[in-house]
Chains A and B, each alone.
Chain A
Amino acid sequence: MDIEVLSSMWPEDIEHEAGKQFNVEKPRGDQDMLEEVTIVEEPTIVDFQHLIELTNYTDKGSSQLAYLVKHWEYKQANAVRLLREELDNLSRQRQESELKKLEILEEHRFEEERYGGDKRSISILDGIYDILQEVPRRKSNIVVPSKRVEIDAEYDTVIYWKQRAMHLEKMLETSMQREQLLKEKLQESIKNLEKQSSPVEELSQILKRADNFLHFVLQTAPVVFGHQDKELRYRFIFNHFPSLQEEDILGKTDVEIFTGSGVKESQDFKKEVIDKGLPAKREITFETELFGSKTFLIYVEPVFSKAGETIGINYMGMDITDQVRKREKMIKLREEIAVQMAKETEFNRTIHITEETMRAKQMLATMSHEIRSPLSGVVSMAEILTTTKLDREQRQLLNVMLSSGDLVLQLINDILDLSKVESGVMKLESTKFRPREVVKHVLQTAAASLQKILTLEGNVADDVPIEVIGDVLRIRQILTNLISNAIKFTHEGKVGVKLYVVPEPPFAKEGSQPVSDGSTCNKSTVNVSKEETCTSMPQTSSDQRGYHGKKYEGSCQNHSQSEPGTLVKNGTKDVSEEQAELPETTMWIRCDVYDTGIGIPENALPTLFKKYMQVSANHARKYGGTGLGLAICKQLVELMGGRLTVSSRVHCGSTFTFILPYKVSLSCDNSDDPDDLSDMDDHGATNDDASADFFQFQQRTLGSLFSSNGSSRTQRLLPHNIGYCYANSHKFNGFSETKEMDFVEDSCSVAEAVEISSEPENSFRHSSDPHNESAICRDNHHWNDENAEARASTRDVSSCSETSRDVDTKMKIRGPQLPPKRQEKSDNCSQSTLNSSQEVSNSISKPKILLVEDNKINVMVTQNMMKQLGHTIDVVNNGIEAVRAVQCRSYDLILMDVCMPVMDGLQATRLIRSFEETGNWDAAVKAGIEQPLPSDSLQPDCTRPKRTTIIALTANASSESADDCFANGMDSFESKPVTFQKLKVCLEQYLP
């Protein structure tokens, strides 16, 4: 009999067709692949007792068991039913055969044959019982004879009955045999049934296969799964890489087994699942001693009892440490990439902006420069136009034009300055200068153009040294800017400057030793007015001792004439040497520029130093200006390492403060410089007290001086004109010869030397003083005197000095108290210069040649060569002097060294050319060269200055290219050393 095979017994598999979740291959013959697989069976640690309990108590477990039992019962029932049917059959057949036997007996008794043909064969397991297909059909091998017993003998004969009896006996025998056979078969069937394998065996076999499959599949998978009861004690766990013994795990909770981060979390998570009764997934990173750092993806599902209460959890974890690491790495990479990208974008944008800005700035600078040149032409032409006859309306229009032009020029200059500072092109120079002098001059300049009734005052503290080292041009620029600003916004009261030494401010990073109170410098100079002088030569240039001595001598004379009481030390030591030997120290000087003006509202303070910012549009309209001034000041101050700050109260005034570091020679005995003393006669009345540190200016003469004309521009220049007209007509004819003497010790050897007194030299030096306003006054005075003499004394000297007093008074320098001696001196001097002027007029046909050269050997050689060629030349030592010389006198030919200290030949040429083009010295003033006399542009008879031939003398150095020479307005150039031949060619070519 075939063995009936049970269908799958695996849990969950209770006979639903679609989507069997767990399919186990049915072994077919010898195709059992599992036989070849080694399956390691240790890993599973099972609490069998609990498993049984579990299967008893849980829904799933009990249903599986129930199914198994049912199946088994069913099978048994089937077998029993079959057997019963068989038995039934047999017993029926037996009944039939007994019945037949009875019939036969009856027939035999009644001798009647009524029974016979209705007998049929019966199969015991017929189609009706075909419940299971597997049940094999069985065919009946029992043939029941159906034919009537045929008896040949005659009925009712003895033979007949005998025969009949025999026949029946046979039939009975066969029946008996059949019965026996059936009995045997029944026995056999029962025996077979007993032999049949038990379902438990089947089951365990199937289970084992399933188990094997599971092991096969899971043998290397990084998976842990298990079951924990509701106290979260492990009841079952599968772990392919077990590191703990069974007894270490079973019956224990996570927390009891492991320590480290993540354990508690997983425990809590499992509890949560139990509480909620819903399966959940979570990723947990464990940091345990046992495993190190591992991340598991954990799936936990609750297990319910039949009653529906949670009795534990199934839990499955997969090690995803590598994946998590990779993922994290990816995230990090992605983040980094994003950051990188952002940075790149930002960077690109910055580059772009920077490039744009640079280009814009460059453009701006170029444009400004390009615009400036033609504009200055326009403005100067307009200025010249003001000197012509104009009606009222025309003059008004012209004034507007001029002021607009000035504004534009100022704006462009500001922009240029600003872009210079910003692009780092701006170079700071460090020269010695005198702070008092600077303050005074700035105030004087401001006072000169003052159009309001204001008091300008300057106050320099005692501890400020006489001389400091810094970029005087820039400092002046800052000061001028701040003061003009203050004046602009102040309608009454005063504007002042205060200068005093402060300790090193905190913002200064570099340590500088605290400055001593400077008393060494100070005490000795208290009585000396320091603000008056500046040597015509730069202190650092290679002046010769002899030359210095000469100068000192002159000034000593001068001094002793005016102030015999004061002794002069003769500082014959070369200043530059002195400077190199002395230690320098840094001193911080604070400068306050205060006013009593309209003040600045607090909210405007932050933007005050921004470019193009003014306090408000209203202010801009009312006060004009470019809005660049303060920005430039701030940038300049910061460039010099200082700070510019402001404090202000509306309607009370503002104070702008800048603190700058200056280099100071510690043991400076510059107060001995006779130049100081030479100026004392200008301040006879003021220099005997501490007020040498105090200046005050007022625009007192406003009404009387500036009444005639509507134009403030012309007004401003008017007082100077008085002096200048005369001076101009004389062309400073004493100048060239005295200058020459400065260079050649043996002054007598100069053929054309006029009678030399100390006075003309003195006056010359003052005129060449870059900052010296009062010297100018004196020059005016001087030339006025001279003029008076020359004109046969139609006016007496005192009237001339009146004129000069006017000028002086305006500056509020005590001019009127000129010592009488001085006037005498003036007489002398005018005498001598008169002579020289006559002499000069004799040689008027001679071409006037100026040599600008700083190297005295070159000077000597060139001068002698020119002498041999029949020319006497004027000599100056640098660009500034050259400009001054041209300011004083017009030349036919200038030989200009290119590379010179203080100011090079190129710049000097530019300034001279600018003058020739515009008729004014504005460019020179901007470059820091004070005009000795006001511009002659307003003189009615002023003719346009003619163009001077300027020939560059180059040393063939790379910095002095021919292109540069031509670009700066030079006509030609000669390489040095100068030779006869070259000079001759030059003179022939350029002199008529």
Chain B
Amino acid sequence: MDLVQLQRQLVDYKTSLYNEGFLDEQFTQLQELQDENNPDFVVEVVSLFFEDSERLLNELTKALEQQSVDFKRVDAHVHQLKGSSSSIGAQRVQKVCIAFRNYCEEQNIEGCVKCLQQVRHEYSLVKTKLESMFQLQQQILSAGGSIPM
């Protein structure tokens, strides 16, 4: 495959991610942190994010399935998720988290459950997007090209 085409595809894909609001400038910051000393930084951080988020989502699911929901606990989890997502620039996840926390404060179980679904949805979306982006990057790298910023 044409390397230039792949590179363009990556750039386009990334732009679309920004345009569609999946990512924000914080992700750019992340990318800027990556250098030859730390070539896999973004992937590392994002993998950490995936891991962490999945754990949190599981926790949240469990917490909301309880007979009496410990909203403090739920809120703490959402707070974590919100912090992580904002740190990597997963904007849409972060936004749902904000709404989620409001429902927590209101102790609104239905709202929380709805938000959990949304968050899960947004998370899986951003995860797929990021993964395919990393795949593209991998392809470019294996083809001997460099990743366009």
Contacts and interface: CB of A to CB of B under 8 A. Distances in A.
Interface residues of A, number: 25
A857 B84 contact: yes
B31 to A, nearest CB: 11
Interface stretch (B2-10, B45-53, B121-129): B45-53
Interface stretch (A183-191, A412-420, A973-981): A973-981
A901 interface: yes
A542 B79 CA distance: 12
Interface string A891-905: 000000001010000
A855 B83 contact: yes
A394 interface: no
Nearest to B83: A855
B137 interface: no
Given A580-B62, A901-B76, A978-B87, A861 B30 contact: yes
A857 B84 CA distance: 6
Contacts of A979: 25-26, 29
A864 B62 contact: no
Interface centre among A544, A580, A857, A958 (most CB of B within 10 A): A857
B33 A858 contact: no
A857 B48 contact: yes
B13 interface: no
B84 A858 contact: yes
B95 interface: no
A361 interface: no
Interface string A977-990: 11110000000000
Contact of A855 (B26, B55, B84, B105): B84
Given A542-B56, A868-B33, A980-B29, A861 B45 contact: yes
Nearest to A581: B62
Could you say which of B41, B48, B105 has the most chain A C-beta atoms within 10 Å of its C-beta? B48
A977 B89 contact: yes
Interface in B20-56: 25-26, 29-30, 32-33, 35, 38, 41, 44-45, 48-49, 52, 55-56
A980 B86 CA distance: 14
A43 to B, nearest CB: 80
B92 interface: no
B33 A857 contact: no
A131 interface: no
A808 B131 CA distance: 57
Interface in B52-103: 52, 55-56, 59, 62, 76-77, 79-80, 82-84, 86-89, 101
Given A861-B33, A977-B87, A980-B29, A542 B48 contact: no
Interface residues of B, number: 31
A855 B85 CA distance: 10
A855 B80 CA distance: 6
A955 interface: yes
A217 interface: no
A868 B37 CA distance: 10
Contacts of A576: 59
A860 interface: yes
A956 B125 CA distance: 25
Contact of B86 (A854, A864, A976): A976
Given A855-B87, A861-B33, A977-B87, A955 B79 contact: yes
B126 to A, nearest CB: 14
Interface string B113-146: 0000000000000000000000000000000000
A860 B45 contact: yes
Contacts of A544: 52
A976 B82 CA distance: 10
A868 B33 CA distance: 7
Contact of A977 (B38, B41, B48, B86): B86
B30 A858 contact: no
B79 A857 contact: no
A861 B88 contact: yes
Contact of B79 (A856, A899, A980): A899
A858 B87 contact: yes
Contact of A857 (B25, B32, B88): B88
Contact of A864 (B33, B56, B59, B84): B33
Contacts of A957: 79, 101
A955 B83 contact: yes
Contacts of B84: 855, 857-858
Contacts of A864: 33, 38, 41
A544 B50 CA distance: 13
Contacts of A865: 29, 33
A542 B30 contact: no
B88 A955 contact: no
Given A542-B55, A979-B26, A857 B45 contact: yes
Given A542-B55, A901-B76, A976 B83 contact: yes
Nearest to B97: A955
B52 A980 contact: no
A854 B79 CA distance: 11
Nearest to A859: B87
A113 to B, nearest CB: 156
Nearest to A959: B105
A861 B52 contact: no
A898 to B, nearest CB: 11
Interface in A154-185: none
Nearest to A580: B62
A674 B94 CA distance: 37
Interface string A820-863: 00000000000000000000000000000000001111101100
A864 B44 CA distance: 12
Nearest to A542: B80
B67 to A, nearest CB: 13
Contact of B32 (A749, A899, A980): A980
Interface string A958-981: 100000000000000000111110
**Which of A576, A977, A980 is packed against the most chain B CB atoms within 10 Å?**
A977
A233 B33 CA distance: 123
Contacts of A978: 87
Nearest to B26: A977
A980 B26 CA distance: 10
A860 B52 CA distance: 13
Given A857-B49, A861-B45, A957-B101, A976 B33 contact: no
Contacts of A857: 45, 48-49, 52, 83-84, 87-88
A557 B45 CA distance: 30
Given A542-B56, A865-B33, A977-B26, A858 B45 contact: no
A868 B62 CA distance: 39
A809 B64 CA distance: 51
Interface string A187-228: 000000000000000000000000000000000000000000
A901 B83 CA distance: 14
A860 B25 CA distance: 17
A865 B30 CA distance: 9
Nearest to B49: A857
A856 B29 CA distance: 17
Contact of A976 (B41, B56, B87): B87
Nearest to B38: A864
Contacts of A580: 59, 62
B80 to A, nearest CB: 6
Contacts of A542: 52, 55-56, 77, 80
Contacts of B59: 576, 580
A860 B26 CA distance: 13
Given A865-B29, A979-B26, 11 more contacts: A542-B77, A855-B80, A855-B83, A855-B87, A857-B49, A858-B84, A864-B38, A955-B82, A976-B87, A979-B25, A980-B29
23 contacts: A542-B55, A542-B77, A580-B62, A855-B80, A855-B84, A856-B52, A857-B49, A857-B84, A858-B84, A861-B29, A861-B30, A861-B33, A861-B87, A868-B35, A899-B79, A955-B83, A955-B86, A957-B79, A977-B29, A977-B86, A977-B87, A978-B87, A979-B25
The 8 closest A-B pairs by CB, nearest first: A855-B83, A857-B84, A977-B86, A864-B33, A977-B87, A861-B87, A858-B87, A857-B87
